Amino acid sequence: MRVLIVEDEMELADTVALGLRREGMAVDVAYDGVSGEEHLEANAYDVLVLDRDLPGVSGDEICKSLASGGSPVRILILTASTGIEEKVAGLGLGADDYLGKPFAFIELVARIRALARRLEARVGPKLIVDDVTLDPATHQVHRAGRPIDLTRKEFAVLEYLLLASGSVVSSEELLEHVWDDSADPFSGVVRVVMSRLRQKLGPPSVIQTLSGVGYRIADDR
């Protein structure tokens, strides 16, 4: 886990950094806002521990620009002022959590951990082939990191193909396992779903056709 601390009280910053490193985190420190922004541009941090009262570029500004820029960094604001209205204001700026000084070190660690955990999406056991991932639990499919919305049938077909892990699946087999009894073996439903699936997944093609045999997931390349 990569953490950046932006805090002008050097002693406090160093102490916290030391403690976090002891917890196994990779920690960088910046003692002012400008330096902080440089670090943020240069590296991909998971969590930013940000003092609100900074000389130069204020914590608020950093916070706002990160939030408006769509940065995935989770922000934890540190501040001397513990008033509730301060708290609300800070969160309104796009921060994810708020901690008033003085704080217990354990609490800081716990909150950083929790923020990092929140960063990871809820993950189940996934099916992954190439750049395609399919999560049966949350019904989500990604291609090269981009989410793809599939209908139930499309999802079921893709799942079956992925489970076959590269071996060839015939139309009859798909009808047997993905459709119910009422499916007409003579209709071209499978062809239709395949077409729609391929359109949604986009190029390069993931599903190969073996004429006269069936379909399979392309696992070479």
- Which of the listed partners (a copy of itself, DNA, none) does 195 bind, with a CB threshold of 5 to 8 Å by partner kind? DNA
Nearer to a copy of itself, 120 or 184 (CB): 120
Residue type, 221: R
Helices 152-163 & 171-178 angle (0-180, nearest 10): 120
SS (H, E, C) 65-81: HHHHCCCCCEEEEEECC
Q: How far apart are CA 46 and CA 104, in angstroms?
A: 21
CB of 125 to DNA, least distance (A): 22
> Residue 123: helix, strand or coil by DSSP?
coil
| Binds a copy of itself by CB under 8 A, chosen from 46, 60, 96, 159 | 96
Q: 76-86 b/e with 16+ CB inside 10 Å = b?
A: bbbbeeeeeeb
- Which of the listed partners (a copy of itself, DNA, none) does 179 bind, with a CB threshold of 5 to 8 Å by partner kind? DNA
Residue 184 neighbours by CB distance under 10 Å: 9
Nearer to a copy of itself, 10 or 121 (CB): 121
- Which of the listed partners (a copy of itself, DNA, none) does 188 bind, with a CB threshold of 5 to 8 Å by partner kind? DNA
Contact 46, 1 (CB under 8 A): yes
Interface map 53-82 toward a copy of itself (x if CB under 8 A): -----------------x-----x------
Residue 177 binds DNA, judged by CB under 7 A: no
Residue 97 binds a copy of itself, judged by CB under 8 A: yes
Nearer to a copy of itself, 19 or 166 (CB): 166
Residue 21 binds DNA, judged by CB under 7 A: yes
Window 158-217: residues binding a copy of itself (CB under 8 A)? 164-168, 170, 210-214
**Alpha-carbon torsion 21, 27, 31, 32, what sign?**
negative
Phi, psi of 159 (to 5 degrees): -60, -45
- Which of the listed partners (DNA, a copy of itself, none) does 194 bind, with a CB threshold of 5 to 8 Å by partner kind? DNA
Q: 139-156 b/e with 16+ CB inside 10 Å = b?
A: ebbbbeeeebebeebbbb
List contacts with a copy of itself (CB under 8 A). Answer: 70, 76, 87, 91-92, 94, 96-98, 110-111, 114-115, 117-118, 121-126, 128, 133, 138-140, 142, 145, 149, 151-152, 155, 164-168, 170, 210-214, 221
List contacts with DNA (CB under 7 A). Answer: 18, 21-22, 149, 151-154, 171, 179, 183-184, 187-189, 191-196, 198-199, 209-214
